[in-house]
């Protein structure tokens, strides 16, 4: 998950041409668990900030209980300027 966020920001959004004021956003739909990324959570967040990208997170945790992945998603969203996070279970 961290690699996906990092490379999307670095290779796509940071290099995209701008023709005027633009606000870039990513919607990250995941359980918040990272499996074998080469970059850390903080490196992914730093790249999103450098690319001036806000990351809306949607947790797929349907248990209703707080999961460690939910805290990760909140950290990513908060660090990129999003003031709310979504949980898949609350959307059903």
The whole model's pTM is what? 0.86
Six-digit token string for 43: 């490196």
Place of tokens 């739909």: 29
Q: pLDDT tens-digit profile of 8-55?
A: 999 999 888 888 888 899 999 999 999 999 999 999 999 999 999 999
State the CB neighbour count (10 A cutoff) for residue 2.
21
Place of tokens 């919607």: 27
Q: Which of 16-30, 63-77, 78-92 has the lowest mean pLDDT?
A: 78-92
**Which among 61, 23, 47, 35 has a CA at the least distance from the CA of 76?**
47
Q: Which ranges constitute the DSSP H helices of the chain?
A: 2-7, 41-50, 68-79
The DSSP element (H or E) to which 30 belongs, if any, is: strand 24-30
């Amino acid at each position: 998950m961290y690699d996906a966020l990092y490379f999307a920001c670095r290779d796509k959004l940071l290099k995209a041409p701008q023709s005027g004021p633009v606000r870039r956003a990513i919607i990250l739909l995941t359980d918040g668990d990272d499996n074998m990324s080469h970059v850390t959570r903080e490196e992914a967040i730093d790249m999103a900030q450098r690319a001036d990208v806000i990351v809306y997170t949607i947790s797929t945790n349907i248990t209703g209980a707080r999961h460690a992945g939910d805290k990760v998603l909140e950290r990513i969203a908060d660090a990129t300027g999003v003031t709310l996070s979504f949980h898949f279970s609350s959307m059903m």
